[in-house]
Amino acid sequence: METHIGKSATNGIEGSDYDIIVVGAGISGLTVAYEVQKQGHKVLVLEANSRVGGRIYTEQVDDFTYEVGAQFLGGFYNETFRLIKELGIEKDLERFHNAMFIQMKGVFQLADQESPWHLMLPPGLKIRDRIKLKNLMFDTLKNWSKISHQDIEKSAGIDNLTMEEYAFKRLNPHILRSFISPMISSLYFMSTAEASYPLFMTMLKNVLSFHLYTFRGGLKKLPEALAKKLNVKLEQKAEQLIRTQYGWTVVTSNRQNYQELWSAKKVIVAIPSMQALELFPKALDLTLEQTIFLEKQKYTQTTSLITGYNHRIRPGAYSFIVPPTETSGVSSITLEHEKFRKHVPEPYGLHTLYTHTHFTEKLSAYNKREKKVMILKEAEKLITRYREHVTWSKLYDVPIGLPHPYVNKAQEVKDFQFKQQQNINKGLLFCGDYLNWPSIEGSVAVAKKTAKMLKQQ
């Protein structure tokens, strides 16, 4: 296919059109663009897709509104709620009850996640397990100042064990299997053998504010509100970053393979790490440490099946979670709460079924129809005769999910950010959820930190 070079932006070869270009209109990119624009910079945001939001992805089928990506805002998302208030969209927030049915020995038991008692002493644990949990509480209190959902760097020094290793050392296998593993696999779609244990402690630290929120019309309202205040160019996929004597030139292409050049004094790369690396064909543009760190970042892979069904399982039942295994691993989040009652006509309901890493890998060789059938079969293990009530379904493959919070990542992020601050005069910064704990809050917090680096320059 022939490539065309756009004329309107080629003046970037001789000078800078913008103070700062942000590559990526996910929540990190939009937030950092918004923050640096407030500092008085002329900012442009370039996005490869036809929508903003990245992994905040709200969809609709008929009267059904649902989330393909991020599912909720936590009540302890302090930086996110400050941003929401500043944007003037807090009036559209809706709170919904956080309850889960966790499978214990083949039986679902209710765990009310808004009850500190249920979260700290969950169902399915024996008396000796509950006594053993005192070690977890003690360690959380001991490391209180080193645990922050907004700042992974604070955990540098204690971030030395996976959750699995920590459980075997300080708890027991039953607590791991019945309590920690279901929670982590459901919320983060990863195993306890992958995730660092301070992540779980951030959840315990915020237990009293572990309320769930969304927006009327879906979570997309947050990125869309940010985009309205910014200059965002959609369907402009960044192909290459070129360093020039004036700063940086970003080469983009659209769906017609029409290329344009955009220039700025500085560039903030706010896309997933593996995509960020592809922008630098010249190895000398990045330091060896930057390259090694970006290459090391991994993301969860999930397949989600959205299904409408004509039978309500039980009013007030919000999620079913099952620990992932080699043969199965379906996490079903039902959206039967205040947010969806206005969108879901009686007696219809809605489920989002996510498959975990091992099961997603097993599905990869199948076509969409076969994937749907296999996921529904797994769902039927949770909900008897589930398939016969399904009225429609839509499949989504999500190759880039949440970044892995691996052991010692806190120290590596701290070192990476220190080097970014040192080399800020080069005009290149990286920003993304892989530089924090995986969540919307982590993305917003690291974006604000990146903007602060520029302000302190």
Q: Which two tokens stand for residue 33?
A: 């663009």
| Whether pLDDT at 217 is above 70 | yes
Domain count, the chain: 3
Span of 54-58, 87-91, 300-304, 385-389 with lowest mean pLDDT: 385-389
For residue 97, the model assigns a pLDDT of 67
Inside any domain, residue 110: no
For residue 10, the model assigns a pLDDT of 42
Of 209, 231, 253, which closes a domain?
Answer: 209
CA–CA separation, 289 and 292 (whole Å): 5
| Whether pLDDT at 78 is above 90 | yes
| Whether pLDDT at 326 is above 80 | no
For the stretch 125-167, pLDDT in tens is: 888 998 999 999 999 999 999 999 999 999 999 999 999 999 9
124 or 228, higher pLDDT: 228
Do 155 and 289 have their domain in common? no
Do 289 and 306 have their domain in common? no
| Whether pLDDT at 315 is above 50 | no
How does the average pLDDT of the chain come out, rounded?
A: 86
Do 225 and 281 have their domain in common? yes
pLDDT above 70: percentage of residues in the chain: 83
Confidence bin at 4 (pLDDT 50/70/90): very low
For the stretch 332-378, pLDDT in tens is: 776 555 555 555 555 567 778 888 777 888 888 999 999 999 999 88
pTM score, two decimals? 0.90
183 or 289, higher pLDDT: 289
Do 307 and 393 have their domain in common? yes
pLDDT above 90: percentage of residues in the chain: 54
For residue 107, the model assigns a pLDDT of 61
260 Cβ neighbours under 8 A, 6+ residues apart: 5, 6, 8, 9, 10, 236, 251, 252, 253, 254
Do 351 and 369 have their domain in common? yes
| Whether pLDDT at 252 is above 50 | yes
Do 274 and 413 have their domain in common? yes
Inside any domain, residue 13: yes
Inside any domain, residue 228: yes
For the stretch 402-420, pLDDT in tens is: 999 999 999 999 999 999 9
Confidence bin at 187 (pLDDT 50/70/90): confident
Do 236 and 380 have their domain in common? no
118 or 41, higher pLDDT: 41
Inside any domain, residue 93: no
Do 225 and 345 have their domain in common? no
**CA trace torsion 149, 153, 154, 156 (10° rounding):** 130
Span of 111-115, 126-130, 198-202, 261-265 with lowest mean pLDDT: 111-115
Inside any domain, residue 361: yes
Domain that includes residue 363, residue range: 58-69+302-398
Of 152, 179, 209, which closes a domain?
Answer: 209
Inside any domain, residue 74: no
For residue 183, the model assigns a pLDDT of 78
197 or 457, higher pLDDT: 197
For residue 3, the model assigns a pLDDT of 39
Do 183 and 46 have their domain in common? no
**What CATH number does residue 425 fall under?**
3.50.50.60
Inside any domain, residue 214: no
Do 261 and 408 have their domain in common? yes
CA–CA separation, 331 and 159 (whole Å): 27
For residue 65, the model assigns a pLDDT of 82
86 or 212, higher pLDDT: 86
For residue 316, the model assigns a pLDDT of 47
Residues across the chain? 457
Span of 158-167, 227-236, 279-288, 329-338 with lowest mean pLDDT: 329-338
Of 209, 234, 254, which closes a domain?
Answer: 209
101 or 54, higher pLDDT: 54
Do 292 and 408 have their domain in common? yes
Do 255 and 311 have their domain in common? no
Inside any domain, residue 112: no
